[in-house]
A and B are shown apart, each in its own frame.
Chain A
Amino acid sequence: MAKPRRLRRPRTTLLILVLISITIITLDARGDLGSFTSGLKSVASDAFSPIQSAVNAVVRPIGSFLAGSVHYGSVRQQNQKLQTEIGSLRQQMVEQANAAKALKQLQALSALNNLPSVQNLHQVKTEVIDFNTSNFASTIDIGVGRNQGVTLGMPVMGSGGATGGLIGKVVEAYKNTSTVRLLTDGQSTVGVAYGPNLYAVLQGQGAGKPLIAQYIPANTPIPPGPAFVTSGLQDAEFPPGLPVAQKLSVKNGNSANDETVTLEPVADFAHLSYVSVLIWGPDAAGTSAGGP
């Protein structure tokens, strides 16, 4: 029996598929296909979400049980660590009372500058569904989407430190789920302030790696603690004053006049179970930063 002509030509098949792939990648990168691919992803995610939830509901408890059996020693260690943390949290509650007093003073100062406070922003709390769907990007999937008011670009906060900190922003918003690109992703940048009129851009370097801030003027005093907060400058992607990172180390930069600072995120990226999406858009930044 004669074979179909197209199947006799594997190289032609490959060439056609490669050309189609390159066309798709190019159109998507240029934004011509942006809404189409985003729509497709949204449909796929929304359709797949119930299956994923059902399978996870069955599989995760089994996985946790098996992991607990295999890692009994580390579970015990973790338990001891948690006990210690409970003690530490009780202590923090006392300290928080003092912090609340300081916060009121800060809010008063922010009000003077006409800046919105995080406390005044509406927050949507949610569970983290998945971590790093690709090995090549630092992202998380969260359990809220457009139906809950979440849209592209919204900042996402995680627990850690006394106040929690910025963990990233929404890069895909589906019906009931969203994808958040974490600060640690190599594509992430965030404009920060670390003192009066001192600004820098923090850059992610990949999952598990610290953030870096380049071109910091040499010998600039950087206070300890979460000194790097979102700058909220005109057209900024985040509202001002969100805690982002604290200094880990400083080394010489590309020239004698600047330094490169290595930073640790304020939020605890190792234990992201629940996060808060701030219902805020970049349009608000222009208003706030451009105010008197």
Chain B
Amino acid sequence: MTARDAAKVILVVLLFVTVQQTLMLDIHFVGIHPDIMVMLPIAAGIIGGPSRGAIMGFGAGLVADLFLPTPFGLSALIGCLVGFGVGLSTVALDRAAWWLPPLAALGASAVYEVAYAAVGSILGQPQMLHVDVVGIVLVVSITNAIIAVPAVRLVGWALPKVSAEGMPGSVGAIGSVR
């Protein structure tokens, strides 16, 4: 990854954080706000495969944790697992398919939120399971499914165009459709 690529990735992460901390915190559905930071590992997993999904999940998670009152490192842990999982589960799929980003965002966001609550409660925050987890899953999954296509294109613009894990066409497919 060149310095230019790194700068592009940092720019996209900062853009997502800014939108999350401003616009998204003002949008509420039954007291729950969308969480677009979850889209970063999902998009990176779709575009770059398991490794890049995991690295993006870890990095974006640490940045997100800077603004959250929940345990520091929790978003990074769940983010890297989800990014890896998305990369692995979509490896055999047609990455240019229009339905892949919304579907992956819907499923992976749900897994992310459930895992976040469950692991948080294991790490000494039992109240994280006492919130409206179903509501959070629905709001976050649906909003992420809606923004999935532009989010994947944006991350595709930022990630360098090399097939990192021996997956022919894995990088270029969606990221190059611009």
Contacts and interface: CB of A to CB of B under 8 A. Distances in A.
Partners in one complex: yes
Interface of A: 3, 7-11, 13-14, 17-18, 20-22, 24-25, 28-29, 33, 37, 40-41, 44-45, 48, 51-52, 55-56, 59-60, 63, 130-137, 139, 171-172, 179, 181, 185-187, 204-208
Interface in B87-143: 87-88, 113, 116-117, 120, 123-128, 130-132, 136, 139-140
Contact of B31 (A17, A41, A208): A208
Find the residue from A22, A48, A172, A207 having the highest chain B CB count within 10 A. Answer: A48
B21 A48 contact: yes
Nearest to A40: B66
B50 A10 contact: yes
Contacts of B132: 206
Contact of A136 (B66, B73, B128): B128
Given A135-B136, A207-B131, A10 B51 contact: yes
A13 B49 CA distance: 12
Contact of A25 (B69, B77, B81, B130): B77
A2 B91 CA distance: 21
A10 B165 contact: yes
A136 B117 contact: yes
A7 B165 contact: yes
Given A21-B76, A41-B66, A59 B21 contact: no
A20 B58 contact: yes
Nearest to A43: B66
B74 interface: yes
Contacts of A205: 127, 130
A135 B33 contact: yes
A157 to B, nearest CB: 20
A13 B136 contact: no
Given A7-B164, A10-B54, A131 B25 contact: yes
B54 A59 contact: no
A8 B166 contact: yes
22 contacts: A8-B166, A10-B165, A13-B50, A21-B74, A22-B77, A41-B72, A44-B66, A44-B67, A48-B17, A52-B21, A130-B21, A131-B25, A133-B67, A135-B32, A135-B113, A135-B140, A136-B131, A137-B128, A181-B69, A186-B128, A207-B31, A208-B31
A92 to B, nearest CB: 29
Given A13-B51, A17-B58, A37 B72 contact: yes
B26 interface: yes
Contact of A133 (B25, B58, B87): B25
B168 interface: no
A24 B124 contact: no
Given A21-B77, A24-B62, A41-B66, 7 more contacts: A10-B50, A20-B58, A21-B73, A25-B71, A55-B23, A137-B69, A186-B130
Nearest to A56: B22
A186 B126 contact: yes
Interface in B43-61: 49-51, 54-55, 57-58, 61
A24 B72 CA distance: 7
Given A134-B70, A207-B31, A13 B166 contact: no
A8 B165 contact: yes
B57 to A, nearest CB: 8
Contacts of B117: 136
A25 B61 CA distance: 12
B80 interface: yes
B67 A45 contact: yes
A38 to B, nearest CB: 9
Nearest to B30: A208
B68 interface: yes
A175 B26 CA distance: 23
A14 B23 CA distance: 32
B131 A186 contact: yes
Contacts of A7: 51, 164-165
**Central interface residue in A21, A29, A51, A206, by most chain B CB within 10 Å:** A21
